[in-house]
Amino acid sequence: MDDLVERFLKKDRRALARIISRVENETPEGGEYLRLLFPHSGKTHIIGITGGAGSGKSTLTGALAAAYRKREKTVGIIAVDPSSPFTKGAILGDRIRMQDLALDPGVYVRSMAGRGALGGLAPTIADVVAVMDAFGFDVVMIETIGAGQDEVEIAGTAMTTILVNNPGTGDDIQALKAGIIEIADILVVNKADHPGADILVSQLQALLALSPAGSRRPPILKTTATKGDGLDELLDAVAEHYAYLQSSGLLSKHREEDARHQVLSIARQILLERIRQATPEEALQALVERIAARELDPHTAAEELAGNVLA
Amino acid sequence: MSTTATAQIRVLIAKPGLDGHDRGAKVVARALRDGGCEVIYTGIRQTPEMIAEAALQEDVDVVGLSILSGAHLELFPRVVDELKKRGVDDVLLFCGGIIPEEDTAALTSLGFKAVFRPGTNTQDIVKFVYENVKK
Ligand code: B12
Ligand SMILES: Nc1nc2c(ncn2[C@@H]2O[C@H](COP(=O)(O)OP(=O)(O)O)[C@@H](O)[C@H]2O)c(=O)[nH]1
Ligand SMILES: [Mg+2]
């Protein structure tokens, strides 16, 4: 084992960057680093920023980080962009909107490719968040890919989820009706310098009025991320939400739910891997052919495969 | 952990200085993306410090500088300096743009493994990265 963990614990940012790569690439050392560092995590406020492509997530993330710096908080940022399903390549361009923080030693920005994961994040996002958390940032912000309405995964990983909307896009309200609004702890109307911001705020208010009585109504805030307007208010709302999570006991509930989700999904992966290893390709092919010929149903076949490793 | 994981090559494409010609950098970024790399593009007007800091934070395997303004001999040594200062000493360095032939030797001694000029086939750039990356 090299000295990366030692350096990491002394807040060496290059060690942090290197460890993230190993964890992201799921190398054996990555697994070992994670095991050693995980006990140091669990102190950071994890914030998710989601919303459509071009809604201003990156700009807002950068502006929020700047506002946190004014309050002397350190910030880690993970910005996810999509991978090409064909070449697995990606262009990660979110840093372009975070230039003001480029040389701030209290900010660390890491771009991640989606690598085919569904739900707007990356396959190893939880592990990378744990590493950033262990490094000791006061807050970690995660910017999702921003592809659309099914990006609900973020609510599992982040404690506070911010949904970014824009005025005058029309299709917004449709998208919100489709369900993503349910994961939002805070609603932001960004690009408030564009016409229609107040109309969108009242539309959102009307939509929220339909939510079940007694449930927490997410606040709605207007921001102009490019000018830094509304950022202090947004920061206050985020802090308020965090205090609410703590005082209501929801924070520990969230931690447990996330832990349950993680352990089960990792276990599922391990089992699948075992099944693959225990099943010779010819045996799999034989089953596949029988299913395709309708001699066997896929459930019975899967039971058989799983039985081979679980017996 | 999974044994089937594959690591994509991570590349930083950066434009130092006040040079606003960004077509070439974007063309190269896209070609590398299509070649299967994860490309971090940071936009125009980057200082040497910003480029080195991005290379460190993103833990890239490759740093490619694009410049058409003629200021390469002034800016590139500073980028190399800033990388060294941060201990980022094991990346594959290369560059492209409007760079006179007679400057190649100076850039080579700075650590640049290749210089690509206008008219380069982007396939050659992708090939160069895969053949020279230190992974
Ligand atoms: C288009 C262009 C512009 C456009 C730029 C649009 C944009 N957003 O990019 C506009 C009109 C804005 C422009 C403005 C200016 N331009 Co101009 N421009 C050009 C021109 C005609 C083509 C450049 C181009 O886009 N090529 C297409 C791309 C795909 O090719 P490329 O950049 O060369 O990239 C290829 C390779 O070089 C290489 N490559 C490039 N970068 C990298 C990086 C890596 C890592 C790798 C591996 C490879 C690589 O791979 C690419 C693919 O083959 C060139 C002349 C020329 N023929 O090159 C002049 C040229 C670059 N411009 C020039 C000048 C002087 C200017 C201005 C100062 C003019 C003025 N007086 O106002 C301004 C400055 C603007 C600024 N802020 O910097 C001069 C520079 C002279 C010099 N270096 O000594 C040139 C050479 C024209 C000339 N012969 O005088 N320009
Ligand atoms: N007018 C205006 N433009 C904004 C605002 N916030 C972001 N933008 C612009 O919207 C575009 C997309 O922003 P970006 O942060 O990249 O969006 P993302 O795709 O959601 O990350 C950029 O051109 C930004 O400059 C804002 O508050 N007002
Ligand atoms: Mg973005």
Looking at A209-297, list the stretches that DSSP marks H as alpha helix, in order from N- to C-terminal side: 231-248, 250-278, 281-292
Tens of pLDDT along B23-48? 999 999 999 999 999 999 999 999 99
A255 domain-assigned: no
Query: Cβ atoms within 10 A of the Cβ of A253, count?
Result: 11
CA distance A1 to A29: 8
Q: Are residues A27 and A158 located together in one domain of the fold? A: no
Three-state secondary structure call for residue A157: helix
| Whole-number pLDDT of residue B5 | 47
Amino acid (1-letter code) at residue A219: P
CA distance A208 to A219: 10
CA distance B66 to B125: 13
Q: Are residues A215 and A81 located together in one domain of the fold? A: yes
Task: Record the tokens describing residue A39, joined without a space.
Answer: 């006990």
CA distance A262 to A258: 6
Domain count, chain A: 3
Q: Are residues A226 and A290 located together in one domain of the fold? A: no
| CB hemisphere CA count around B107 (13 angstroms) | 25
Residue B43, chain A, CB below 8 Å: the answer is: yes
Q: Are residues A281 and A184 located together in one domain of the fold? A: no
The residue whose CA is least distant from atom 48 of ligand 1 is: B96
Mean predicted lDDT score pLDDT of chain A: 93
Q: Are residues A138 and A218 located together in one domain of the fold? A: yes
Q: Between chain A and chain B, how many beta carbons pairs sit less than 8 Å apart? A: 97
- Surface of A (232-291) touching B: CB under 8 A: 269, 273
Partners of A108 on chain B (C-beta within 8 Å) are 57
* Residue B1, pLDDT above cutoff 80: no
Residue of B nearest to A97 (CA): B42
* Residue B4, pLDDT above cutoff 50: no
Ordered strands of the B115-116 beta sheet: A90-92, B38-41, B10-14, B62-67, B92-97, B115-116
| ipTM topping 0.90 | yes
Q: Which residues sit opposite A142 in a β-bridge?
A: A48, A78
Residue at which a domain ends, from A200, A223, A248: A248
Residue at which a domain ends, from A248, A275, A292: A248
Q: Are residues A99 and A194 located together in one domain of the fold? A: yes
- In whole angstroms, what separates CA A277 from the centre of its chain? 31
Q: Are residues A289 and A238 located together in one domain of the fold? A: no
Partners of A111 on chain B (C-beta within 8 Å) are 38, 40, 58
Tens of pLDDT along A187-227? 999 999 999 999 999 988 988 888 777 778 999 999 999 99
Three-state secondary structure call for residue A57: helix
A188 domain-assigned: yes
Distance B20 CA to ligand 1 centre (A): 8
A191 ligand 2 Cβ < 6 A: yes
Residue of A nearest to B59 (CA): A17
A288 domain-assigned: yes
pTM of the model: 0.95
Tens of pLDDT along A96-105? 999 999 999 9
Q: Are residues A170 and A196 located together in one domain of the fold? A: yes
Three-state secondary structure call for residue A223: strand
Q: Spell out a b/e string for B3-31, using b for 16 or more CB atoms within 10 Å of the CB, else e.
A: eeeeebbbbbbbbbbebeebebbbbbbbb
Closest CA to A161 of A94, A101, A250, A256: A250
Tens of pLDDT along B45-96? 999 999 999 999 999 999 999 999 999 999 999 999 999 999 999 999 999 9
A218 domain-assigned: yes
A120 ligand 2 Cβ < 6 A: no
Decide if A230 contacts A192 (C-beta within 8 A). Answer: yes
Q: Which domain holds residue A271?
A: 260-310
Amino acid (1-letter code) at residue A157: T
| Whole-number pLDDT of residue A175 | 58
Task: Record the tokens describing residue B61, joined without a space.
Answer: 């395997």
Instruction: Find the largest Cα–Cα distance for chain A.
Output: 67
